[in-house]
């Protein structure tokens, strides 16, 4: 069965920063930023296509005030040691600081029920995931390697130009870091600094003896594009020198098919259990009024990708919309 063009795209409209996790119960679990940035919802289906029509269930709502009261961004759902965890970013205010930055920090909620969608009451707050810098931070993901749990995220270092760099640390538990953060990447190439100097939205896939860490760079308009870091799976993942960074984007806008700003991706696997699937958001126009952040039309898309002879992923181009 050919998977490349089998899916309807966009799969889910007005859902940015999409994350899809295929669980052992046979369901795909989906979460993403909602346009109002005011809650976290989950939907599930037995097929990827089924997610388009699955009823979302709200599992957490923003607070009335305080650090988790504004701009709820980029939730990711993970299953770790028999429990569900959702990482997300939130802010105390929508105002920008003196450097023109949002004021997000990273948070974690937990559910020990078999069905994470059963009720809002089943989720408890584990609070802020703290690093050694009290600065703008967001887009956390995690992965297990060699019996250890690792956390990867984006954060501002006041000593480095730009909005955010990428960091990794080992975790003590799913909401507490065990080691000091190690910077893996910062905006430096011309395609990473268009509009804003940004490295964010990390995602991890493990294949062919290596970990591939994709991320997104530049402003969230048509300049948004994906880069990639690579490391062998038998070395110290907390040694930044073991990671290599691609000099060119690995996935970017395709003007010919009007696919603009693809990024903030995640990975899952197709219904056959073999075909690798990339999940990402994208727009089909460039004329955005005001701040691109508040334009709701970043839609969730899914597409299969293949592997090059050297064992690296080949993402190709964003597939065109085909829902008409």
Q: How far apart are CA 133 and CA 160, in angstroms?
A: 13
Tokens for 1, please give them: 């069965």
CB-count burial class (<10 Å; 0-12, 13-18, 19+) for 217: buried
Q: How far apart are CA 56 and CA 105, in angstroms?
A: 25
98 as an active site residue: the answer is no
Q: How far apart are CA 294 and CA 309, in angstroms?
A: 41
248 as an active site residue: the answer is no
Backbone phi and psi for residue 121, each to the nearest 5 degrees, phi listed first: -65, -15
Backbone phi and psi for residue 256, each to the nearest 5 degrees, phi listed first: -65, -30
Can the peptide bond before residue 289 be classed as cis, meaning omega within 30 degrees of 0?
Answer: no
Q: How far apart are CA 252 and CA 194, in angstroms?
A: 13
Q: Which of 17, 41, 110, 295 is catalytic?
A: 17
CB 126 within 8 A of CB 109: yes
Q: Which of 76, 110, 139, 200 is catalytic?
A: 200
Q: How far apart are CA 281 and CA 293, in angstroms?
A: 13
Residues acting as catalytic residues: 17, 200
């Amino acid at each position: 069965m050919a998977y490349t063009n089998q899916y309807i795209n966009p799969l889910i409209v007005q859902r940015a920063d999409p994350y899809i996790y295929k669980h052992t119960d046979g369901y795909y679990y989906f979460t993403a930023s909602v346009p109002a940035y005011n809650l976290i919802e989950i939907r599930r289906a037995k097929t990827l296509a089924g997610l388009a029509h699955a009823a979302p269930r709200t599992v957490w709502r923003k607070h009335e005030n305080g650090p988790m009261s504004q701009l709820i961004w980029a939730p990711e759902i993970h299953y770790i040691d028999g429990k569900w965890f959702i990482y997300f970013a939130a802010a105390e205010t929508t105002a920008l600081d003196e450097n023109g930055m949002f004021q997000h920090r990273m948070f974690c909620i937990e559910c020990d029920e078999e069905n994470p969608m059963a009720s809002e009451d089943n989720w408890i707050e584990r609070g802020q995931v703290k690093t050694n810098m009290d600065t703008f931070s967001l887009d956390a993901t995690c992965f297990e390697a060699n019996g250890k749990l690792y956390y990867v995220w984006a954060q501002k270092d006041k000593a480095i130009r730009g909005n955010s760099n990428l960091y990794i640390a080992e975790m003590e538990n799913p909401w507490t870091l065990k080691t000091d953060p190690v910077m893996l990447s910062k905006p430096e190439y011309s395609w990473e600094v268009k509009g804003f100097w940004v490295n964010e939205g990390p995602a991890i896939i493990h294949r062919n003896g290596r970990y591939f860490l994709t991320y997104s760079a530049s402003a969230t308009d048509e300049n948004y594009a994906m880069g990639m870091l690579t490391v062998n799976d038998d070395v110290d993942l907390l040694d930044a020198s073991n990671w290599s960074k691609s000099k060119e984007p690995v996935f970017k806008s395709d003007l010919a098919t009007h696919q603009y700003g693809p990024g903030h991706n995640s990975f899952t696997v197709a219904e056959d259990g073999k075909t690798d699937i990339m999940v990402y958001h994208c727009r089909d126009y460039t004329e955005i009024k005001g701040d691109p952040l508040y334009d709701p039309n970043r839609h969730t898309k899914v597409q299969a990708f293949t592997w090059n002879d050297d064992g690296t992923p080949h993402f190709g181009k964003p597939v065109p919309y085909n829902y008409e």
